[in-house]
Structure 1
Amino acid sequence: MPIKKDIIWRVGAIYTLVIIFAILIVGRVVALQLFEGDKWRSKAQSLSRRDVIVSANRGDICAADGRLLASSLPYYELRMDFQASGLTDSLFRSDVDSLALCLSRFFKDKSAKDYRNMLWKAKYRTKSNRYFLIHRKKINYIGLKKIKTFPLFRLGQNKGGLICEQENRRIQPHLNLANRTIGYLLDGQQNQQIGKVGIEGAFENDLKGVDGISIIQKMSGRWLPVNTVEPKDGNDLITTIDVNYQDVAESALEQQLIKYNADHGSVVLMEVKTGAVKAIANLGFDEASQSYKEDYNYAIGEATEPGSTFKLASIMALFEDGYVGPMDSVDTGNGVFSYYKEKMRDSHPGGFGKISVQEAFEKSSNVGISKLVNEHYKNKPRSFINRLYEFRLNEPLGLDIKGEGIPSIKYPDDPTWSGVSLPWMSIGYAVQQTPLQTLTFYNAVANNGKMMKPRFVKELRYHGDVIQTFDKEVLKSRICSGETLKNVRNLLEGVVLRGTARNLRNSNYTIAGKTGTAQIADKNKGYKVKVYQASFVGYFPADDPMYSCIVVINRPNKTKGFYGNQVAGPVFKTIADKVYAMSYSMHPIKPDDLDFEPKVPISLNGSKDDLNVVFDELNIEIANKDIQSDWVISSRKDSIIEYKYRIIKKFMVPNVKGMGVQDALYILENAGLKVMVKGVGSVTKQSIEPGSYFKKGDFIRIGLS
């Protein structure tokens, strides 16, 4: 009996434990379902499903005529999945040698044997061989197309194991052209690049688009897409920049910076009536490369003492308040005048004596302008400063591009105000302006008193359709009276006709403007070290202004020259001459031109078939039309066009002079040469003489004008 009880007790205990264990299991199942179900379902899903960001294509930045200034191009990282389902041992072994040879020839960094050993080791001796990196170098789309023709890789991902991971790179086809204004991208979160500088930064939200999401799920050991939210591409942005004008501005500025060993300089060319910036160049000397580069947007960001270009504001205040007129006189004496212990000097030795207000401005007399301002505003300096404020010279322009320098014109209650503040401010010292702020003021004078906000963008487009237009914006409808405008425009023309900028005169069109030569303070030694800033700002044609322009060159070598007309003026004239030559609307129609007899047009040398199409359409007779040559030299002879042979021989450098850039590139690149192009227009020079022998892959430079 005791044994039976013992057995019953044991069975009961076991049964009780089983019941308790079952209750615990059921309770845990209920808890998992009711309270922790979402947590574990989410965890299971995270192990089998992933959200992958699909980057949107960033919009292009284009010039006014649609030419690309910045664009995103795809580049690819090559990897190989050695565990791809279709990549069998027999298939790999049969093609690995051929693949290694192709990779060696493509990358040209290792032998075919080295590539074969690398692939073999990755296949059979490496554990993590699912996404093996083939090469660190990322390749472009053209290279990818070639890679996909290689053995194994041409079989696709499942059978050949090729994996191509794409990333977009932002490039500027015109290299440094307006580089700082266009801007660039910086690394952001999740390996994404975002615009922080220039137009890229100002219009980041429009350019970046909206990223999509691809949901991928693990099935049979492979990640496959199960659902996708498509990305929305960014908008394309059409700027106001004219590539041809920009090229001229940068080239002219660089040449002058080199000539005078200057530290840096900037140029801005603006449309008078709209404020559209057609060219903006900023070049600074780079110690590392010993050349000039776009390292900072000086035109927008650098506020300095403008010097004599500020005299326009001073003379306008005097005219507007009715204190003087252009024909009134001022005694400049011997060119030296003292304000307390500080001496004001004219650059002209011995001074100008007694001259008119107009002459004081045209000759840029520091003594003359400062005496006029000090005489009439000494006891009421607030009136003078208020006039400058009315001209809007104390306010930023409110540009879309970040980093605008802050203008500074202190008020008489400023703690640093003294008895010499007024005369020195009148000639552009103790005030600060950026080049673009100064240009905007002069542009308002050219635009009959209407001050326009500088603008860099004219349209946003999405897949070719215009979705937003940026209209011109008026900052101030009228900066002064019509009489004052008339007087100061005559003064600005006089500066070029009779004054400090006589070297800019020409017989084709008139220029109005003002030279500036300012001694700028050194960071450490102040004005004790003589460091200069040369500038010229104005507009053209003076009688019907279409463009305004400013040139500022900082720290030229003073032993070579530092005056505004000498250092900055020639850059202005070069730009103005080129713009005038390219803008036929500026050219006045001469009476003799109205009745001229039509002439046969001058044409570039090029493809005979292309030229035939054009001349047939214009009904122009062609001599030697049946000449047996694909490429011809065309010349005008009386009322007909005459063709001459242009022979292109294998491994001999072709003669492309006189051709357009498209034809020249076609011929040279098909011959096997690598071409570098500089300038715009037709080919005027080539670095390797025609008829010289060359090796395939040699570089040749062609110059256009």
Structure 2
Amino acid sequence: MGQGRLRLVVGAVALVCLSLGARAVQLSVADDARYGTFSTEAFASERVDAAERVTGRGAIVSADGQRLAASLDAGKVVATPYQIEDPEAVAKSLAETLGDEAGSADEIEEKLTGAGKGASRGYSVVAEGVEPETAREVTELGLTGISVAPDEVRAYPNGPLASQLIGYLGTDQAYGGVEARYDEVLKGGQDVELTLDTAVQRELEVALNETAETYEGKSALGLVMRVEDGAIVALAHTPGYDNNQFAEAPEEVKRDRILTDPYEPGSTFKAFTMAAALEEGAVSEQDTFMVADSMPVADVVIKDSEVHAPEILNPAGILQHSRNVGTIQVAQSLGGERLVENIKRFGFGEETGVDLWGENAGIVPPFEEWSGSSIGNIPIGQGLTVTPLQLASGYAALVNGGLRVTPHVASNADTGEPGRRVMSEKTSSIVKGMLQTVVDEGTGHFAQIPGYTVAGKTGTAQKVDPETGRYGDEYVTSFIGFAPAQDPEYLTLIVVDEPQKAIWGEVVAAPAFQNVMGFTLGYYNVPPDRESTKNDAPTPDPVLAPDAKKEDSIR
């Protein structure tokens, strides 16, 4: 048998092996025609059977059985340069068959002659990730010195859905997210099943996109977490990107900012100050404070969000109206040293232990490094930094009876022993009740969901101007809440960076929370715990809210 015929047979056998390994290769890769001929949406929704997979990189699969990342069978076109007698003619034939995948005929000719980057006289890769049908056509050309070997290409069937969480598999390594964290597991051919649900994820992404667009926010992010154990049901950012076009995406949008980018949380942090004071016995539910609309603390003046006459408020009233001055008075009753101890107990200032790489621990200034004004900003969530993931994890412990949770995205993640207790069940119950009044009667009323008790906290935190080092005129706006209020199953966090048309957590973030949490409760069939009637008042228009407030102001 001649060498040409032998190579043709070898190439055909390789292609048969490639084809035998194929599934129904039905996958929809949004906006990527490269994979269109062997892709349909059916592939993404097929339930994954571990017994079907025996080779290749494992898939990343959502809790509802959707493939979020999968390796597709493809071909690799390989050249043996010294066997090619007419590189120019062969390059022209390959260019016509492969199209743009392998470059121009001139670029291919460089590879065939061993002149291309990474090429050698004995072996040169002409094209990788070639569609099976195209690979078959290359084999049928019968070109001396050209063969087709089995290959895989990583595809992301749902396009931009949860891209930062999923991560990306490059030709050299895995970049970020689940692809990087569970690289060894996936390389071993095992699938990784996530706690993320695609229906909730889509709802969250839509809410973030609409909110950022409506209020002209620089960016937005959010997550949905199971309160009991820290399982992440949805995690999203906007702007996002599509892992199928990873190289074209700006670097700044590829970070999973929920765990990598700490920020000053503002008023959402006040619940921890209140919990610490109650747990330590520094204040009680019945204690009252004379709360003015401003107070000097060292060299700064702390203001409430609105001018008001001095008012007598208990701790619940202070949270309900998000009073900065009242929160600082509570913190002064506790003392800075004990406040820091309690803040650290909730896990702030350290990594949460989430099963993803790149987590930032945030900064909680040690008490010995406090300035005179620290007691005036740290209790209201300024002067320290937390990641959105830390805040959600802390709230889970705050409202689940006082037990720390370890956030996780893999369903079989090793989260260690049950979380340690950080406060009593009694304090947890009291704080839940206080946060419910925030939604029922206070600054969070746009978060109300018909049929359910809802609790949570708004936040509108000033950002530090990087040029002056002082608080400026841009804000991070947020809402974090949970439901049902006294027996919570899920919590949702919404954060919008630098909104321009409004800056108040009540107006910008709470309605997005309402949409996402309302969907989540219904989707998981959480029983309603509050009677709703046809006489219920309609949800107010947040854009026109007359009493919307910016809560945190340090001047």
How far is the alpha carbon of 1:410 from its aligned partner?
1.8
Give CA-to-partner distance per residue, 1:331-362, whole Å, 9 cap, x none. 122x1111133111111232562222211111
Measure how far apart 1:506 and its partner are: 2.7
User: Residue type of the partner of 2:304?
Assistant: D
Please say if residues 410 and 431 of structure 1, whose CA atoms lie closer than 8 Å, have aligned partners that are also in contact.
Answer: yes
Shift of 1:553: 1.3
Larger Rg: 1 or 2? 1
Q: Distance in 2 between matches of 1:143 and 1:454?
A: 44
- One-letter code aligned to 2:281: G
1:516 to 432, 451, 459: 459
Aligned to 1:316: 275
Take 2:252 and 2:451, find their aligned partners in 1: how far apart are those partners?
Answer: 33
Alignment of structure 1 residues 264-275 onto 2, 5 Å: 264-275=219-230
Question: How far apart are residue 474 of structure 1 and its match?
Answer: 5.0
Q: Map of 1:641-660 to 2, 5 A cutoff?
A: none
Partner residue of 2:187 out of 208, 218, 227: 208
2:201 matched to 1:246? Answer: yes
Does residue 356 of structure 2 align to residue 401 of structure 1? yes
Q: How many angstroms does 1:285 deviate by?
A: 7.9
Deviation at 1:588, TM superposition (A): 6.6
Find the counterpart in structure 1 of residue 46 from structure 2: none
Q: 1:144 aligns with which of 135, 146, 155?
A: 135
TM-superposed CA distance for 1:517, in Å, is 0.8
Deviations 1:430-473 (A, max 9, x none): 111111101111111232212210011124xxxxxxxxxx3554
Q: Per the alignment, in what secondary structure is the counterpart of residue 399 of structure 1?
A: coil
- Alignment of 1:507 with 2:463, yes or no, is no
* Matched letter for residue 565 of structure 1: E
What residue is the counterpart of 1:580 in the other structure?
Answer: 521
Which position in structure 2 is the counterpart of 1:425? 378
Please give the residue correspondences for 1:176-195 in structure 2 after superposition, counting only pairs within 5 Å. Answer: 176-186=160-170, 193-195=172-174
Give the aligned partner of residue 340 of structure 2. 385
Structure 1, residues 235-261: CA drift from partner, whole Å, max 9, x if none? 221111111111111121111112222
Q: What secondary structure does 1:261 align onto?
A: coil
Q: Any unmatched runs of 5+ in structure 1?
A: 1-55, 90-95, 188-192, 210-233, 460-469, 591-705
Structure-2 residue corresponding to 1:371: 329
Structure 2 gaps of 5+ residues are 1-54, 114-118, 242-246, 532-555
Change (3 A) 1:291 1:561: farther
**Distance in 2 (alpha carbons) for counterparts of 1:578 and 1:292:** 32
Cα distance in 1, alignment partners of residues 93 and 264 from structure 2: 65
- Does 1:346 find its partner at 2:304? yes
Instruction: Give distance in 2, aligned partners of 1:499 and 1:173.
Output: 43
The Cα offsets for residues 595-624 of structure 1, whole Å up to 9 and x where unpaired, read as xxxxxxxxxxxxxxxxxxxxxxxxxxxxxx
Q: Distance in 2 between matches of 1:576 and 1:292?
A: 30
Q: Deviations over 1:248-276 (max 9, x none)?
A: 11121111112222222211111112211
Q: How many angstroms does 1:317 deviate by?
A: 1.3
3-state SS in 2 of match to 1:561? coil
Alpha-carbon distance between aligned partners in 2 of 1:473 and 1:256, rounded to the nearest angstrom: 37
Matched letter for residue 518 of structure 2: D
Q: CA deviation at 1:186?
A: 4.6
| CA displacement at 1:205 relative to structure 2 | 2.0
User: Which residue of structure 2 aligns with residue 476 of structure 1?
Assistant: 419
Match of 1:489 among 429, 432, 435: 432
* Alignment partner, residue 68 of structure 2: 69
Pick closer, same or farther for the CA change 1:491–1:58 going to 2, 3 Å.
Answer: same
Amino acid at match of 1:436: L
Q: Note if contact 1:515-1:564 (Cα within 8 Å) is conserved in structure 2.
A: yes
- Displacement of 1:195 in angstroms is 2.2
Distance 1:429 1:83, change over 3 A: closer
Q: Which among 410, 431, 439 is matched to residue 392 of structure 2?
A: 439
Query: TM-score, normalised to structure 2's length?
Result: 0.74
Q: Kindly, what percent of the aligned residue pairs are identical?
A: 26
Residue identity opposite 1:184 in structure 2: Y
Show the 5 A alignment for 1:440-459.
440-459=393-412
1:542 matched to 2:542? The reply is no
CA distance in 2, matches of 1:340, 1:269: 39
Query: What corresponds to 1:260 in structure 2?
Result: 215
2:157 equivalent among 135, 159, 173: 173
Higher RCO (CA 8 Å, separation ≥ 6 residues):
2
Q: CA RMSD in A?
A: 3.7
Partner of 2:57: 58
How far 1:101 sits from its partner (Å)? 9.5
| Aligned pairs (5 A) from 1:85-164 | 104=96, 107=99, 139-145=130-136, 147=138, 150=140, 152-153=141-142, 163-164=147-148
- Tell me, yes or no, if the aligned pair for 2:278 and 2:427 is still in contact at 8 Å: yes
Read off the aligned partner of 2:62 and give its amino acid letter: A
Distance in 1 separating the partners of 2:178 and 2:298: 48
- The answer on whether the counterparts of 1:202 and 1:400 sit within 8 Å (CA) in structure 2 is yes
2-side partners of 1:424 and 1:589: how far apart? Answer: 37
Contact kept? 2:347, 2:390, Cα under 8 Å: no
Number of the residue aligned with 1:41: none
1:276/1:140 Cα in 2 relative to 1: closer, same or farther (>3 Å)? Answer: same
- CA shift digits 1:66-87 (9 cap, x unpaired): 32111222443445779989x9
Q: Which sits farther off after the overlay, 73-82 or 131-140?
A: 131-140
1: distance between equivalents of 2:411 and 2:66? 14
Secondary structure of 1:456's partner?
coil
Aligned equivalent of 1:659: none
TM-score (norm 1): 0.59
Measure, in 2, the Cα distance between the counterparts of 1:515 and 1:132: 62
Question: In the alignment, residue 475 of structure 2 is paired with which amino acid?
Answer: Y
Residues of 1 paired with 2:328 and 2:120: CA distance?
80
Following TM superposition, by how much is the alpha carbon of 1:282 offset from its aligned partner in structure 2, in angstroms? Answer: 2.1
Q: In structure 2, what is the equivalent of residue 632 of structure 1?
A: none
Separation of aligned partners in 1, 2:128 and 2:186:
27
Q: Distance in 1 between matches of 2:99 and 2:226?
A: 49
Describe the SS at the equivalent of 2:437. Answer: helix
